[in-house]
Amino acid sequence: MMVEEAASLSKLFTERKWPVFVFLDSHHPNKPESPYPPHCILGSGEEDLVPALKWLEEDPNVTIKRKDCFDGFIGSMEKDGSNTFAKWVKANEITSVLVVGVCTDICVLDFVCSTLSAKNIGLVPPLEEVVVYSQGCATFNFPVDIARTLKGALPHPQELLHHIGLYMAKGRGAKIVRKVTLGSSQEL
């Protein structure tokens, strides 16, 4: 459901020629992202957009940023100290950012928290609000019985941690929404 929601929203945004910013989790094979197992390794195909979103690569209103850490805001830092996401916000005069993605309690939450902190100290003008679309986010499930068989692994109950991620984002100042209305009457 999350991918379908992200695809629908992206289509609506791009039809209106509204800017879209996409993060792609992209890791080097010898640079682990502890405590998680290797994932989205460059060259594996996992680091690319899923088929339902692949079309975004060709849209001129879409900015794609590969990140090699949990947090897209931190992952947007460039070697010269600039921040690709902050520059995008400023260049497009973004006052409200709508967030969708995976994993609700990890990447989404970290991005939301860092973006809100950056907003609070004036690093992302003119951004005023961060909105998280709950139906456009998801996280993974890692059952207790499997986690017990792997050294250092923690269980990750999907539904609970999705809601905890949303709760934590709201506690940090994000607005959490169950539906999105664009313009006069289009709603997801």
**Percent with pLDDT over 90 in the chain:** 74
Which pLDDT belongs to residue 100? Answer: 98
Q: What is the pLDDT of residues 33-67, one digit of tens each?
A: 777 777 877 888 878 899 999 999 999 999 999 99
Local structure of 123: helix, strand or coil: coil
Task: Calculate mean pLDDT across residues 64-84.
Answer: 95
- Among the residue ranges 29-33, 117-121, 170-174, the one predicted with the least confidence is 29-33
The residues, ordered by sequence, that sit 6+ positions from 172 with a Cβ below 8 Å of its Cβ are: 112, 113, 116
Which pLDDT belongs to residue 187? Answer: 61
Domain ranges of the chain: 2-18+70-187
Please give the model's pTM, rounded to 2 decimal places: 0.92
Task: Calculate mean pLDDT across residues 8-23.
Answer: 96
Kindly tell me the sign of the dihedral angle through the C-alpha atoms of 150, 155, 158, 164.
Answer: negative
137: Cα within 13 Å, side-chain hemisphere: 30
Query: Of 87 and 44, which is predicted with more confidence?
Result: 87
Output the CA angle 69-75-79, nearest 5 degrees.
125
Neighbours of 9 (CB within 10 A): 19
The residues, ordered by sequence, that sit 6+ positions from 112 with a Cβ below 8 Å of its Cβ are: 99, 130, 132, 169, 172, 174
| pLDDT higher than 60, residue 185 | no
Task: Calculate mean pLDDT across residues 13-35.
Answer: 89
| pLDDT higher than 60, residue 98 | yes
